[in-house]
Amino acid sequence: MNMRHGRYLFILTFLLPPVGIYAIYMLSPYVQAIYISMTDWSGLTAAQTFIGFDNYVEMWNDDQLHKALWNNLILVLVVPVLTLLLGLFFASMLNVGGRSRGGAVTGVRGSSIYKVVYFFPQVLSVAIIGIVFKYVFAPENAGGILNRVLGAVGLDGLQRLWLAEPDYLIWIIVLVMTWSFVGFYVVLFSAAMQAIPRDIYEAALLDGSSRLTTFRKVTVPLVWDTVQVGWVYMAIQAMDGFATVHIMLGINGGVQGAGDVLGVAMYREAFAEADFGYAAAIGVLMLVLTMVAAILFMRGLRRERVELA
Amino acid sequence: MSSSIERTPAAAGTDRRAFLQRLAITGVALGPGGAFLASCATGGGDDADDEASEAPSGDVSDDNPLGIPTDQPIEVYIFDGGFGDEYATELHQPIFNEKWPDIQIDHHAAVDIGAELQARFVAGDPPDFINNSGDGQMDPGQLVSDGLLADLTPLFDAPSWDDPNVTVRDTLLPGTVESGTRDGKPYVLNYAFTVFGLWFNQTLMDENGWPVPTTWQEMMDVCADIAATGIAPWVYQGVTAPRYMNWPLLSMATKLAGPEILVAIDNLEPGAWGHEAVMESAAAIRSLAENGYFLPGVEGMEFRDAQGLWARGQAVFCPSGSWLENEEADAIAENPTFQLAMMPDPLLSPDSVMPLETVRATAGEPYVVPADAKNPLGGMEYMRAMLSMEGARGFTERVTSLTSVAGSSEGVQIEAPGLASAQAALQAAGDNVVNWFYPSWYGTMENPGIDQATGALLRAELTVDQWVEQCEAVATEIREDDSIVKQNREG
């Protein structure tokens, strides 16, 4: 009995600080945000007036917010798929894609260099990536790299005013986000693939399987755990997308607000429109959607675990 | 990692006891944890009410017309942006301290004013004097409607720093006090004076013998000549701020039909944007796009890139305010022969009601005193010092901007060509100075509202009728939004 009491006290004492910090800095803001979303706080006064669900009703009728939601949906569906496919492809090329030299399974030539170079985008801060890509997509006479390259290659017809076309904006964001995250997944999947015993590959090779078949039937099932985790992580990143959109398209989400996302809408409502209550309501929406997306993906991507040994 | 752990079922009695113990522990843990939640963002309301104390004051005298406490420090926050903050530390604060040597000025400069001061407003502890400007500007309309700013009437009614027989109000250019007034009371001091117009590359115009256009027909002729040489006649602030083109649009419409149309627009009257003068002006602006007179690719450019190309001789005309010269100082310095000058917007037709010299000019660069400041009267006295002739003249000399103090730029050697021509234009305009207020009253109406509509007009994606429709829709949205406090002007 004494041992039991002593043990609980011991656990309690050591749990209290981290749980306390978690409660103050993680849980408490969420609870406060839910409360603030039911007020009309401007963010400047000391007191708030309770207004119930008015902010949520306003959200329901807000066309610009629907645009932002739609853009987030595109990001959540497209970016993880694109990033993971490319990540898997590059990782398998770098680890098991080389022509077999004397039966050994290796990556393509120069894979050690590629591994380092692919990771560079992750090292750059998102602010730098945003500004650099702004200049990639700028008009030719303002330093636009893409248009200049197209012109140099003779593809003048494909030149556009990229950031001035409302329809292109979200796809430009998809491209930039994919570019910045592929490297991370190349490294992640490379590590996962290293854990696969080489004899499985050699057995597959002996059985005459092509590179594509090996990829589909051997590599992917064995790294699926990592793919699932990566997918959920990318989906959460895509629900956010604030930094990239804010830097490349501005606080209004670009021309006619066509590139708006929920994160930018929340920032704009809080700081440009001095309406913290509405911004908090958008924040609560983001919380709910991100959790739903995470749970859905985790459930939907579950596979039977394959024992390796 | 994957195998499941066999759990031996515990005896029923021990199970229940363990459960209850865990419940008790959780309760104990949450209790003090809950106390931590007292430090909330949302918990500040009660404190503010308790401390409704009197602002400190001293004796009112001839020397101390505002009655400031002579021993209390003043906390000053300056926006560190286009004007920097040296005008405060090296000019205004010495002027102030010459009169009040015992008062300490606690000077701060910040790039993001909102980020630094928002939390202080919420905590009820703002500084005494704020230069509320820049990207992080706190919405002035919201500050006023939340009752967070002090009424500056005592300042404007007080005698001026240099001449006790003249009130501060009377030393200012007309329109200055009004530009900072909401709900009939002045809350914001707008210190700098900006002249708006078309800024052009004087060097190119002289070299090629192009005349400065006074009517729109002359403008189109000049543009054709310019375009023939391969230079772009016009540029605007790209995808970032097409709203800059609204300024010549509304100016030209005002010269055609008179300043009443601006009153209608500011008062959000239905159909204000559909006035024939506005439509004629919009058609004129659109014809620039139709004839390809804009710099190629400008619709996709960042505004600094567009202005930079103008400063480097790729385009001739650029709409802006008198800050342009300072903003593009680096690009201008690259070419020592580059001379910029300002022209008033051309007349749309000979039956224009107002003369060519009419300009839009307004006081800008806002300074406020928070209502909950520890020493608001001290903040107002600091403003009084800034509004002295020495302070205003020094400001003009240092940051190449006019101030709203009348006569402050007389006798100042203005070397900068742009500012010199702006000052000349302002003098030539005389009483014909117009202004419109809706962008400062309803920030989102201008940006993104009208901004996006004009952007589409400039890309020739909208006809003039469609542009009018969109502007009307934006005005209607603001008019019908009850959460926005409406302002009104008589004329």
Domain that holds residue A94: 57-300
Which of 429-488 (B) contact A at CB < 8 A?
A: 443-444, 447-448, 452, 455-456, 459, 483
Chain B 141-180, residues with CB within 8 Å of chain A CB atoms: 142-143, 146, 148
* Res B430 pLDDT > 50: yes
User: Number of Cβ pairs closer than 8 Å across A and B?
Assistant: 126
Q: A45, B146: Cβ pair inside 8 Å?
A: yes
From chain A, pick out residues whose CB is under 8 angstroms from the CB of B121: 44-45
Q: Which residues contact B176 (CB under 8 A, 6 or more apart)?
A: B190, B193, B363, B404
Pair (B209, B327) in one structural domain: yes
B341 shares a domain with B199:
yes
Lowest mean pLDDT: which of A107-116, A299-308, B432-441?
Answer: A299-308
pLDDT digits (tens, 9 = 90+) for A71-117: 999 999 999 999 999 999 888 888 876 665 555 567 778 888 888 89
Please say whether the beta carbons of A142 and B297 come within 8 A: yes
Indicate whether B58 belongs to any domain: no
Contacts of B140 (CB under 8 A, 6+ apart): B132, B149, B182, B187, B188, B366, B368, B440
**249-278 in B: which are within 8 Å (CB) of A?**
none
Say if B219 falls within a structural domain: yes
pLDDT computed for residue B46 by the predictor: 44
* Residue B44 belongs to some domain of the structure: no
Mean pLDDT confidence for A39-46: 88
Q: Give the pLDDT score at B36.
A: 46
Same domain (yes/no): B315, B210? yes
Domain limits at B110?
74-194+362-419
Domain assignment of residue B217, yes or no: yes
> Torsion over CA of B237, B239, B240 and B243, rounded to 10 degrees?
60
Say whether B300 and A164 touch across the interface (CB within 8 A). yes
Comparing alpha-carbon positions, the chain A residue that sits nearest to B139 is A274
Contact check, Cβ <8 Å, A46/B123: yes
Q: What was the pLDDT predicted at B63?
A: 83
What CATH number did the domain enclosing A159 receive?
1.10.3720.10
pLDDT at B32 exceeding the cut of 80: no
What pLDDT sits at residue A98? 67
Residue A140 lies in a domain: yes
Whether pLDDT at B401 is above 60: yes
Per-residue pLDDT averaged across B157-170, rounded?
Answer: 91
pLDDT band at B38, cuts 50/70/90?
Answer: very low
Average pLDDT along chain A: 87
- Which residue in A16, A32, A273 is closest to B41 by CB distance? A32
Structure tokens at B36: 């931590």
Alpha-carbon gap, residue B246 to B254, rounded angstroms: 12
Residues B228 and B347 in one domain: yes
pTM above 0.90, yes or no: no
Q: Is the pLDDT of residue B24 over 90?
A: no
Selecting from B42, B47, B296 the residue whose C-beta is nearest the C-beta of A141 gives B296
A165 vs chain B: nearest CA distance in angstroms? 8
Looking at the domain assignment, is residue A270 inside a domain? yes
Calpha distance A161→B97 (Å, rounded): 55
Q: Is a pLDDT exceeding 70 seen at residue B14?
A: no
Q: B433-434 and B359-367: which strand pairing?
A: parallel
Answer whether residue A127 is part of any domain: yes
Task: Decide if A52 is inside a domain.
Answer: no
- In tens, the pLDDT along B180-209 reads 998 889 999 999 988 999 999 999 999 999
Please count the other Cβ atoms lying within 10 Å of the Cβ belonging to residue B14. 10
Domain count, chain B: 2
The pLDDT of B158-172, averaged and rounded, is 91
Query: Across chain A, how many H-helices and E-strands are there?
Result: 15, 0
Residue B37 has pLDDT above 60, yes or no: no
**CA nearest to A27 within chain B:** B37
Comparing alpha-carbon positions, the chain A residue that sits nearest to B477 is A62
Tell me: pLDDT of B68 over 70: yes
Q: Is residue A51 domain-resident?
A: no
Q: Counting every residue, how long is chain A?
A: 309
Whether B356 and B402 map to the same domain: the answer is no
- CB–CB of A134 and B302 under 8 A? yes
CATH classification of the domain holding B155: 3.40.190.10
Nearby residues of A93 by Cβ (< 8 Å), 6 or more positions away:
A107, A108, A111
Structural domain count, chain A: 1
Q: What is the mean pLDDT of residues B455-461?
A: 90
Residues B201 and B186 in one domain: no
Of A161-165, A258-262, A303-307, B10-14, least confident by mean pLDDT is B10-14
For residue A8, the chain B residue with the least C-alpha distance is: B25
Count other C-beta atoms under 10 Å from residue B174's C-beta.
12
Residue contact A46–B47, C-beta within 8 A? yes
Region B249-259: mean pLDDT is: 93
Residue B54 inside a domain? The answer is no
Distance (Å, whole) CA A215 – CA A139: 41
Residue B2's pLDDT is what? 43
Q: Chain A: nearest CA to B131, how far in angstroms? A: 16
Domain membership flag for residue A29: no
What residues 5-24 of chain B have any CB closer than 8 A to a CB of chain A? 21
B51: in domain: no
Specify the range with the lowest mean pLDDT, choosing from A165-174, B151-160, B377-386, B414-423: B414-423
A16 in a domain, yes or no? no
Residue B175 and residue B314 share a domain: no
What percentage of residues in chain B have a pLDDT greater than 70?
89
CA distance B393 to chain A (A): 34
**Same domain (yes/no): B217, B351:** yes
pLDDT > 70? residue B90: yes
Query: Nearest CA to CA, how far is A289 from chain B (Å)?
Result: 24
Same domain assignment for residues B119 and B238: no
Question: What's the pLDDT at A305?
Answer: 64
In a domain, B112, yes or no: yes
Neighboring chain A residues of B142 at a CB cutoff of 8 Å: 42, 44, 274
Residue of B323 and B211 predicted with greater confidence: B211
Residue B49 has pLDDT above 80, yes or no: no
* Same domain? B333 vs B382: no
Q: Answer yes or no: is A3 within a domain.
A: no
Element (H, E) at A165: none
Distances (CA, A) of B446 to B245, B288, B401: 12, 22, 24
Claim to verify: residue B129 and residue B230 sit in the same structural domain? no
Which residues of chain A does B143 touch, with a Cβ-Cβ cutoff of 8 Å? 44
What local confidence, expressed as pLDDT, does residue A304 receive?
Answer: 63
B490 occurs within a structural domain: no
Please list every residue in chain A whose beta carbon sits closer than 8 Å to the beta carbon of residue B50: none
Residues in chain B closer than 8 A to A134 (CB atoms): 302
Query: What angle do helix axes A169-194 and A242-249 make, rounded to 10 degrees?
Result: 140
pLDDT value for B18: 67
pLDDT at A256: 86
Residues of B in Cβ contact (< 8 Å) with A41: 42
Same domain, B148 and B212: no
